[in-house]
């Protein structure tokens, strides 16, 4: 069975994006743990870069993923924009638009779109350490904008469906 390395973005002294008291590190951790639970229920092996409120650098996370021999690396974050309610939706970042990582990103985005998120697409970010230092297909999921009220409403009210959508996108990629 595939080993999926799940990375909850930020953590510890690094809150990530913050909006009205809401911190990206908390949303990312809650969602990551639930995605992992669903993956394990469906037979996947899961390794977490963090399961509590601690900080590791992106370089440490990529190194860890390589050391445990992950087959896939999924980093979960929340997006943010310069102004509240400026943008909405999910996007998934990849090192490049080709191959298994791009397929994984598309599967995740399509499933999140099906529960009501705007699909902002799969975009290349070759400069991100967790995407360019990992030796396995790697994606960074921006699970809605933390400073957009509509996205927070979806995150809070459809949390279980959101976790299921991300997990299903991963499982579809593993099993197809």
Residues that are catalytic:
142
Q: Is the separation of the CB atoms in 139 and 93 below 8 Å?
A: yes
- Pick the closest to residue 164 from 122, 90, 108, 119 (CA basis): 108
Q: Please tell me the chain's helix, strand, coil percentages from 3-state DSSP, rounded to the nearest 5.
A: 40, 25, 35
CA distance linking residue 102 with residue 94, whole number of Å: 6
CA dihedral 118, 166, 72, 148 (to 10 degrees): 50
Tell me how far apart the alpha carbons of residues 114 and 9 are, in angstroms, rounded to a whole number. Answer: 24
* Cα–Cα distance measured from residue 120 to residue 1, given in angstroms and rounded to the nearest whole number: 31
In angstroms, the CA 27 to CA 7 distance is 12
């Amino acid at each position: 069975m595939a080993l999926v390395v799940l990375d909850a973005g930020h953590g510890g002294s690094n809150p990530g994006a913050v909006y009205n008291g809401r911190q990206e590190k908390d949303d990312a951790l809650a969602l990551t743990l639930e995605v992992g639970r669903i993956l394990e229920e469906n037979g996947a092996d899961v390794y977490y870069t963090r399961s509590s409120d601690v900080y590791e650098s992106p370089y440490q996370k990529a190194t860890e993923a390589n050391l445990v021999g992950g087959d896939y690396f999924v980093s979960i974050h929340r997006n943010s924009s310069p102004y509240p309610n400026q943008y909405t939706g999910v996007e998934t970042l990849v090192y490049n638009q080709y191959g298994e990582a791009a397929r994984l990103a598309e599967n995740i985005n399509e499933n999140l779109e099906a529960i009501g998120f705007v699909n902002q697409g799969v975009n290349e970010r070759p400069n991100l350490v967790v995407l360019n230092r990992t030796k396995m297909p790697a994606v960074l999921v921006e699970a809605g904008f933390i400073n957009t009220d509509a996205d927070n409403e979806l995150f809070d009210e459809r949390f279980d469906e959101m976790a299921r959508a991300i997990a299903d996108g991963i499982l579809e990629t593993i099993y197809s």
